[in-house]
């Protein structure tokens, strides 16, 4: 479905009835990443999946898509659907958006699951890497996307997940150049939200993967301890929802229903 918001088309899906759960995808992904889980989850819940700004079928809104701007677009969808409260599940960049949403719309947020994500801001080194990524994508868009997606997986899993990785790459290649750059710029300047996560009084969970090439596993465990968030440990890379699909589904189902 399409919602027009501030002159931009926002794509979302809406399935099932019951407790509302909003799924927010990561960088270079789109809402279809959650498709394997929707049929089962929607049996007892209302599952909303949204294409974030500049990704999937949602259009771009400028040169920089801040996490706050993305969160406002998410809220526009929920307001349109007359949803008064929701649990948010965010993968990677989607987790940054979920925390920005919780800060701005705390009364609507009844749960936060960070999937291979963090409440911390980018370090100086990571900001430099974002700038390098922007230069790389401007230089050779297709090569950047292929390498960026492939590098998110545990090397030991790449051969067995070749089909899935190819599908994600093909979907990612549909992301407009402006959308990629705007997201990179937005992630680079995002603020620290450790206090938001620490002070959040409802259900909260963090999925951390031992072989995650993007986020340091030990740092995530320390963050979880500091913020009082339940941590679930996964064995593989940054794409736990694909690399460990059954384990991911089991933990998300438990998180939603308890």
- Number of domains, the chain: 1
pLDDT surpasses 90 at 258: no
Provide the pLDDT confidence category of residue 2 given band limits of 50, 70 and 90: very high
**Predicted pLDDT of residue 27:** 98
**Predicted pLDDT of residue 183:** 98
**To the nearest whole number, what is the mean pLDDT of the chain?**
97
Q: Which CATH number is 26's domain given?
A: 3.40.50.1820
What does the alpha-carbon distance between residue 29 and residue 50 come to, in Å, rounded to a whole number?
11
pLDDT tens-digit readout, 34-84: 999 999 999 999 999 999 999 999 999 999 999 999 999 999 999 999 999
pLDDT tens-digit readout, 180-233: 999 999 999 999 999 999 999 999 999 999 999 999 999 999 999 999 999 999
Find the domain containing 250 and state its range: 2-257
For the entire predicted model, the pTM comes to 0.98
Percent of the chain with pLDDT over 70: 100
pLDDT surpasses 90 at 149: yes
């Amino acid at each position: 479905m399409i919602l027009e918001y501030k002159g931009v088309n926002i794509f979302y899906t809406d399935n099932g009835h019951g407790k509302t759960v909003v799924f927010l995808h990561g960088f270079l992904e789109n809402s279809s990443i959650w498709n394997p889980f929707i049929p089962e989850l929607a049996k007892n819940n209302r599952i909303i999946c949204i294409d974030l700004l500049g990704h999937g079928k949602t259009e771009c809104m400028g040169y920089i898509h801040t996490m706050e701007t993305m969160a406002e677009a998410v809220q526009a969808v929920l307001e349109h659907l007359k949803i008064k409260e929701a649990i948010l599940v965010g993968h990677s960049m989607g987790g940054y958006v979920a925390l920005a949403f919780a800060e701005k719309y705390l009364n609507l947020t009844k749960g936060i699951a960070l999937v291979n994500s963090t409440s911390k801001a980018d370090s100086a080194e990571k900001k430099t890497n974002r700038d390098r990524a922007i230069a790389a994508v401007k230089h050779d868009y297709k090569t950047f996307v292929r390498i960026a997606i492939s590098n998110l997986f545990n090397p030991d899993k790449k051969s067995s997940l070749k089909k899935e990785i190819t599908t994600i790459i093909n979907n990612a290649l549909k992301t407009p150049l402006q959308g990629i750059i705007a997201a990179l710029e937005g992630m680079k300047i995002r603020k620290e939200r450790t206090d938001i996560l620490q002070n959040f009084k409802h259900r909260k969970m963090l999925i951390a993967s031992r072989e995650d090439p993007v986020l340091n596993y030990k740092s995530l465990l320390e963050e979880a301890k500091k913020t009082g968030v339940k941590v679930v440990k996964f064995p593989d890379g940054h794409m736990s929802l694909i690399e460990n699909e059954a384990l991911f589904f089991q933990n998300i189902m438990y998180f939603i229903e308890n």
